[in-house]
A and B are shown apart, each in its own frame.
Chain A
Amino acid sequence: MRSRRPATAGARVLVVEDDDETRTVLVRELTTRGYLVEETATGRAALERWEAHRPDVVLLDLGLPDLDGLQVIRRIRRDALTPIVILSGRFAEQEKVAALDAGADDYVTKPFGVDELNARLRVALRHAAGPEAVGEGELRAGPLVLDVPRHQVRVDGVHVDLTPREFEILRVMLMNQGRLMTKGRLLRAVWGEAYQAEHSYVYVHVSQLRRKLAAADPEGRLRGLIVTEPGVGYRVAEDMETETLDKP
Chain B
Amino acid sequence: MRQWPRLSGRVPWRGLAVALLTLPGATLIIALLENNVGLPNASAAYLVAVVAVALVSGPIGAAVAAVLAALLYDFLFTEPYFTLTISDPDDWLNVILLLFVGVVVGQLAARQRLRAEQAIVREREARALFQISRSLATRSSTAPVLADIAQVLAANTHLDRVWLTLTADGRDRSVADTGSGLPPDARFHSVLRRTPGDAPAEWLRVHDTTRAQTGSESPPREARGAMYKVRIEVGDRSLGSIWGWRERRDDDPDRTERRLLAAAADQIGQALTQDALATQAQAAEVARQSDALKSSLLQAVSHDLRTPLATIRTAAGTLRPESGLASEERKESAEAIEREVEYLDRLVTNLLDLGRIEAGALRPELDAFDLEDLVDRSVARLRSRLEGRLLALDLEGSPVLVDPVFVDEAIGNLLDNSIRYAPPAATIRLTSQDLPEDGYVRLTIEDSGPGVAEADLDRIFEKFYRGAAGGSTRVGTGVGLAVVRGLVEATGGRVTARRSDLGGLAVDLDLPRARLPTELADPT
Q: Known pairs A164-B524, A230-B374, A231-B365; list 5 more (Cβ under 8 Å).
A: A200-B514, A200-B516, A204-B520, A207-B399, A231-B404
Contact B524 A231 (CB under 8 A): no
Contacts of B517 in A (CB 8 A): 198, 200-201, 204
Q: Does A205 contact B (CB under 8 A)?
A: yes
Kindly provide the distance from the CB of A100 to the nearest chain B CB, expressed in whole angstroms. Answer: 14
A-B pairs, 8 with minimum CB distance: A230-B404, A228-B373, A231-B404, A203-B368, A165-B522, A200-B368, A163-B524, A163-B522
Q: Which residue of B lies closest to A195 (CB)?
A: B521
Contacts of A203 in B (CB 8 A): 367-369, 399, 516
Query: With A111-B341, A200-B516 in contact, is A230–B377 under 8 Å at CB?
Result: yes
Contact B405 A231 (CB under 8 A): yes
Query: With A165-B522, A231-B404 in contact, is A204–B377 under 8 Å at CB?
Result: no
Q: Does B196 contact A (CB under 8 A)?
A: no
Kindly identify which residue among B352, B356, B367, B524 contacts A199, using a CB–CB cutoff of 8 Å: B367
Q: Which residue of B lies closest to A111 (CB)?
A: B345
Q: Does B349 contact A (CB under 8 A)?
A: yes
Contacts of B365 in A (CB 8 A): 93-94, 231
Distance in angstroms between the alpha carbons of A204 and B521 in the assembled complex: 12
Contact B345 A201 (CB under 8 A): no
Distance in angstroms between the alpha carbons of A203 and B368 in the assembled complex: 7
Contacts of A198 in B (CB 8 A): 517
Contact A91 B523 (CB under 8 A): no
Distance in angstroms between the alpha carbons of A90 and B522 in the assembled complex: 37
Q: Which residues of A contact B (CB under 8 A)?
A: 90-91, 93-94, 111, 113, 163-165, 198-201, 203-205, 207, 227-228, 230-231
Q: Does B446 contact A (CB under 8 A)?
A: no
Contacts of A201 in B (CB 8 A): 517, 520
Contact B523 A205 (CB under 8 A): no
Give 9 pairs: A residue, B residue, CB < 8 Å, sorted on A: A163-B522, A164-B523, A165-B522, A200-B514, A203-B367, A203-B399, A205-B522, A207-B370, A230-B408
Distance in angstroms between the alpha carbons of A93 and B403 in the assembled complex: 11
Kindly provide the distance from the CB of B113 to the nearest chain A CB, expressed in whole angstroms. Answer: 73
Contacts of A94 in B (CB 8 A): 365
Distance in angstroms between the alpha carbons of A228 and B408 in the assembled complex: 12
Distance in angstroms between the alpha carbons of A111 and B344 in the assembled complex: 11
Distance in angstroms between the alpha carbons of A165 and B524 in the assembled complex: 9
Most buried by A among B365, B367, B517: B367
Q: Which residue of B lies closest to A206 (CB)?
A: B370
Query: With A164-B523, A164-B524, A230-B373 in contact, is A200–B367 under 8 Å at CB?
Result: yes
Contact B352 A91 (CB under 8 A): yes
Kindly identify which residue among B338, B352, B369, B514 contacts A228, using a CB–CB cutoff of 8 Å: B369
Q: Which residue of B lies closest to A197 (CB)?
A: B521
Contacts of B352 in A (CB 8 A): 90-91
Kindly provide the distance from the CB of A63 to the nearest chain B CB, expressed in whole angstroms. Answer: 15
Kindly provide the distance from the CB of A167 to the nearest chain B CB, expressed in whole angstroms. Answer: 11
Kindly provide the distance from the CB of A223 to the nearest chain B CB, expressed in whole angstroms. Answer: 10
Distance in angstroms between the alpha carbons of A164 and B521 in the assembled complex: 11
Distance in angstroms between the alpha carbons of A227 and B374 in the assembled complex: 10
Kindly provide the distance from the CB of B480 to the nearest chain A CB, expressed in whole angstroms. Answer: 16
Contacts of A228 in B (CB 8 A): 369-370, 373-374, 377
Contacts of A111 in B (CB 8 A): 341, 345
Kindly provide the distance from the CB of B210 to the nearest chain A CB, expressed in whole angstroms. Answer: 49
Contact B405 A93 (CB under 8 A): yes
Kindly identify which residue among B374, B404, B408, B522 contacts A164, using a CB–CB cutoff of 8 Å: B522
Contact A230 B369 (CB under 8 A): yes
Contacts of A199 in B (CB 8 A): 367
Distance in angstroms between the alpha carbons of A164 and B520 in the assembled complex: 12
Distance in angstroms between the alpha carbons of A228 and B399 in the assembled complex: 13
Kindly identify which residue among B341, B370, B403, B516 contacts A231, using a CB–CB cutoff of 8 Å: B403
Q: Which residue of A lies closest to B404 (CB)?
A: A230
Q: Which residue of A lies closest to B342 (CB)?
A: A111
Kindly provide the distance from the CB of B467 to the nearest chain A CB, expressed in whole angstroms. Answer: 26
Distance in angstroms between the alpha carbons of A205 and B520 in the assembled complex: 8
Q: Which residue of B lies closest to A183 (CB)?
A: B367
Distance in angstroms between the alpha carbons of A228 and B370 in the assembled complex: 9
Contacts of A227 in B (CB 8 A): 373
Q: Which residue of B lies closest to A93 (CB)?
A: B405
Kindly provide the distance from the CB of B205 to the nearest chain A CB, expressed in whole angstroms. Answer: 61
Contact B403 A90 (CB under 8 A): no
Q: Chain B 404-431, CB within 8 Å of chain A: the 1/0 string?
A: 1101100000000000000000000000
Contacts of B399 in A (CB 8 A): 203, 207
Kindly provide the distance from the CB of A182 to the nearest chain B CB, expressed in whole angstroms. Answer: 12
B331-361: which have CB < 8 Å to A? 338, 341, 345, 349, 352, 356
Query: With A198-B517, A200-B514, A230-B405 in contact, is A90–B349 under 8 Å at CB?
Result: yes
Distance in angstroms between the alpha carbons of A205 and B518 in the assembled complex: 11
Distance in angstroms between the alpha carbons of A228 and B405 in the assembled complex: 12
Kindly provide the distance from the CB of B517 to the nearest chain A CB, expressed in whole angstroms. Answer: 6
Contacts of B516 in A (CB 8 A): 200, 203-204
Distance in angstroms between the alpha carbons of A177 and B52 in the assembled complex: 100
Distance in angstroms between the alpha carbons of A163 and B356 in the assembled complex: 44
Kindly provide the distance from the CB of A67 to the nearest chain B CB, expressed in whole angstroms. Answer: 25
Distance in angstroms between the alpha carbons of A204 and B517 in the assembled complex: 8
Contacts of A164 in B (CB 8 A): 522-524
Kindly provide the distance from the CB of B380 to the nearest chain A CB, expressed in whole angstroms. Answer: 10
Distance in angstroms between the alpha carbons of A245 and B289 in the assembled complex: 67
Kindly provide the distance from the CB of B302 to the nearest chain A CB, expressed in whole angstroms. Answer: 22
B359-390: which have CB < 8 Å to A? 365, 367-370, 373-374, 377
Distance in angstroms between the alpha carbons of A81 and B351 in the assembled complex: 39
B185-204: which have CB < 8 Å to A? none
Contacts of B345 in A (CB 8 A): 111
B461-499: which have CB < 8 Å to A? none
Contact B349 A231 (CB under 8 A): no
Q: Which residue of B lies closest to A113 (CB)?
A: B338
Contacts of B338 in A (CB 8 A): 113
Q: Which residue of A lies closest to B372 (CB)?
A: A228
Kindly provide the distance from the CB of A96 to the nearest chain B CB, expressed in whole angstroms. Answer: 10
Kindly provide the distance from the CB of A99 to the nearest chain B CB, expressed in whole angstroms. Answer: 15
Contacts of B407 in A (CB 8 A): 230
Q: Which residue of A lies closest to B409 (CB)?
A: A90
